[in-house]
Amino acid sequence: MRHRTLTTAIAILLVIGTASPALAAQGEVKLRTKSTATIVAGDSAWVAINWQGKGELTDFQVVAEAPRGVEVTYPENTPGFTGLMNGHVLSDKEMDFTALRLSVPYAQTRSFTVKLRVSYKSDGRAVQDDFDVSVPVATYRARQDIAQVTDSLGSIASGDSAWTQVDFTGLAPMAEGFDVVVTDPAGLTVSYPSAGTSASLYFNDVLEDGETDFAAIHVDTTGVAPGTYKLGVKVSYTMAGRTKAFDGTLALTVTG
């Protein structure tokens, strides 16, 4: 009786031993990106995360979870998740990447970890794996946050009026609540869109790093003598929760 029990146990072990290589041969994925590119606090950036397949993996999807305050955005064609650059299939030994856009608040001054939930099918079997990837963070320390690109409004004939624009370029990761006022108008009548007391930017009131946008200013030269006038420009905005200001100048020529 004991002999029969031992024989049965050996048979079971043999079956398990035979089945194990088949399980190991099933598909799996390896994370090849341990750390993404560095993101400046207050900025947003697309990061690439590289994967390598073992076996034929289909329906490949990645969902990311970031710390509180960090916003995760996926590509427009895959709302709610991110897929591979070349579709949703990762072949044996193939390397491909998924893309994520991470928006890092100014308050996030240290590196952080993004948790990745990867799901795919291997030999018709649904599989889920969890991975962690580190995101380095740098602090913005430049002296100037924005640059005024336009220094002249050109010329307007005396007695005429015209809409003009003043271009600004962002140097800091993000300047919010962008507001522009023309000061010392030298007798000129200056007005703003929607009969406001100031102008914001054309697209929105946020100026990001490397972005150029403009503020529209209406100038009326009625009653102003011909000549070249120097106008003041005062820009206010918030960055990292603090209100900041930028002062500039504009030249305007009134012709006869």
Residue 156 maps to which CATH number? 2.60.40.10
235 falls within a domain: yes
Tell me: do 210 and 109 sit in the same domain: no
Which helix (H) or strand (E) segment is 252 a member of?
A: strand 242-255
Whether 50 and 30 have beta carbons less than 8 Å apart is answered as no
State how far the Cα of 207 lies from the Cα of 172, in Å rounded to an integer: 8
Domain final position from 138, 170, 193:
138
* Domain end marker among 138, 162, 179: 138
Range of the domain at 210: 146-255
The answer to whether the pTM exceeds 0.85 is no
DSSP letter (8 states) at residue 173? S
Tell me what pLDDT residue 69 has.
95
What's CA 11's distance to the chain center, in Å?
58
Shared domain check, 160 and 80: no
Q: Which residues contact 141 (CB under 8 A, 6 or more apart)?
A: none
Query: Is 236 a domain residue?
Result: yes
Do residues 112 and 191 share a domain?
A: no
Mean pLDDT per segment of 10 residues, for the chain of length 256 residues? 34 32 54 93 94 93 97 95 92 94 93 97 92 93 90 94 95 94 93 96 93 96 95 95 93 94
In order of 144, 198, 250, the CA distances from 171 in angstroms are: 7, 22, 20
Same domain, 164 and 112: no
Domain count, the chain: 2
SS3 254: strand
Residue 40 lies in a domain: yes
